Each structure stands twice: as structure tokens, then as C-alpha cells.
Structure 1
Amino acid sequence: MEFCPSCSNMLKFELPNMGHNSRLFCQTCPYVCYIEKGVKIKRKQRLVRKEIDPVISYDDMKNGPTTEVRCPNCSHDKAAYTEMQIRSADEPATIFYWCLNEKCRHQWRED
């Protein structure tokens, strides 16, 4: 949707007619903008995916409270945990677990 730079009304689209290109025109003033047939790409920009930092790191978790719960990955019997309210207030909190086995460090959650 484009607007007229002189009177700020919405421009109308007109299909090519009698050898003229497509155009956008204003119904209230004489403004006309012809539309070119081809699109020119001025430069290509490569998108780079940013690294995502965890909200809770493993170092924060291993110094926190622990509980005896079995890891689903390695069956280790101790895990660090934290509880967060990630949904609305009337929903139960989510518990995040981290396996304390140094070789595993598996993370899971209970909703």
C-alpha cells in the first residue's frame, strides 16, 4: 500500500495500458508513479545466525538446589533443579532439571 507524497491519499494501481507500464496514481492530484518491469537487487547480504545465550547456565544450576530424580538420558540419580513461571499465573510452574553427571549434563523439564 502506497500513499501520495503530496496529498497523502492512498494511491490506486493501474494495469499496463496502450504501451504504458503499470502505474500508481492519485485520484485527487496529478501524482503518477510508473512501475518498472524488472526488480534490481542492489546487494546481497548474508544473514548470520546469532548465538543464543541460555537463560540459566549449567554453572548456575550445579550450585543450586538438588534433588533425587532419575535422568532419562543416563539414569544418574541426582539432578539440580529450578522452578520458573513461564505460562500465565493460573497455570502450574515449570520445573527445569539438569543432570549432575559431568559426562551427561542432560537438561529436561516437567510442566
Structure 2
Amino acid sequence: MEFCPTCGNMLQYELPHMGRPSRFFCPTCPYVCHIETKVKIKKKQRLVKKELEPVITEDDMKNASHTDATCPRCGHGRAAYVQFQTRSADEPATTFYTCLNETCRNKWRDD
């Protein structure tokens, strides 16, 4: 949406007609803004993917409690777990597990 710099009303769009380019015009005052048919890209900027910090770090899992939970990937019977309240207070906490098998280290969660 574009607005008239003179009176502040919303500009209306008019299609090109008989050699005249398309334009925005103000219905209440004589303001007219012609639209260029070609768009010029002045600068290309590469987006850099930001590195995400994990919510649960390896140090958190080293200090976590252990339980008899079966890993869905390797079937190991022990896992470290941490619980967080990820939803509203009347919902149960979410449990995040890490397999204690040194070759697996699979992470999963139980809602």
C-alpha cells in the first residue's frame, strides 16, 4: 500500500494505457507517481545461516539423572534425562533423553 505524501490518502493503481506507464494516483489531489517497468537490484546480499545454540548442552546431560529407558535406535537400556516445562503449566513436562551407549548417543523426547 502506498499513501499520498501530500494529503495522506491511499493511492490507487492505474493500468498502463496508450503508451502511458502504469501509475499510482491520488483520488483527492493531483499527486501522481509513475511506476518503472524494470526493477533494478542494487545489491545482492548472501544470507549467512546462523549457528544455533542447543537448548540442552552436553554438560546438562552429563549432570542429568539416569533412568531405565530403552533407546529407540540401538535398544540400549539406560538413558540420561532432563525435564522441562515446554507447554502451559497444566500440561505435563517434556522429558528429553540421551542414550548412554557411547557409540549411539541418540537424543529423543517424550511429551
Q: TM-score, normalised by structure 1?
A: 0.91
What SS is found at the alignment partner of 1:80?
A: strand
**Alpha-carbon distance between aligned partners in 2 of 1:98 and 1:59, rounded to the nearest angstrom:** 12
Answer yes or no: is 1:31 the counterpart of 2:31.
yes
Aligned match of 2:41: 41
Q: Distance in 1 between matches of 2:6 and 2:88?
A: 48
Could you give the per-residue CA deviations for residues 9-65 of structure 1, whole angstroms, max 9, x where no partner exists?
100000111211000011111111000111111121111211111101122112111
Gaps of 5+ in 2: none
Question: Which residue number in structure 1 is paired with residue 109 of structure 2?
Answer: 109
**Partner residue of 1:87?**
87
Identity %: 66
Tell me if structure 2 keeps the 8 A contact 1:83–1:96: yes
CA RMSD in angstroms, aligned pairs only:
1.3
Using the size of structure 2 for normalisation, the TM-score is: 0.91
Contact 1:62 1:100 in 2 (8 A): no
Post-superposition shift, 1:88?
2.4
Map residues 65-80 of structure 1 onto 2, 5 A cutoff: 65-80=65-80
Q: Which residue of 1 aligns with 2:56?
A: 56
The list of structure 1 runs, each at least 4 consecutive aligned residues, that deviate by more than 4 angstroms after superposition, is none
Q: Which digits, 9 at most, give the CA deviation of each residue in 1:80-110, with x for residues without a partner?
A: 1111121223322211101122221110011
Work out whether residues 58 and 98 of structure 1, in 8 Å CA contact, stay in contact via their aligned partners in 2: no
Unaligned runs of 5+ in 1: none
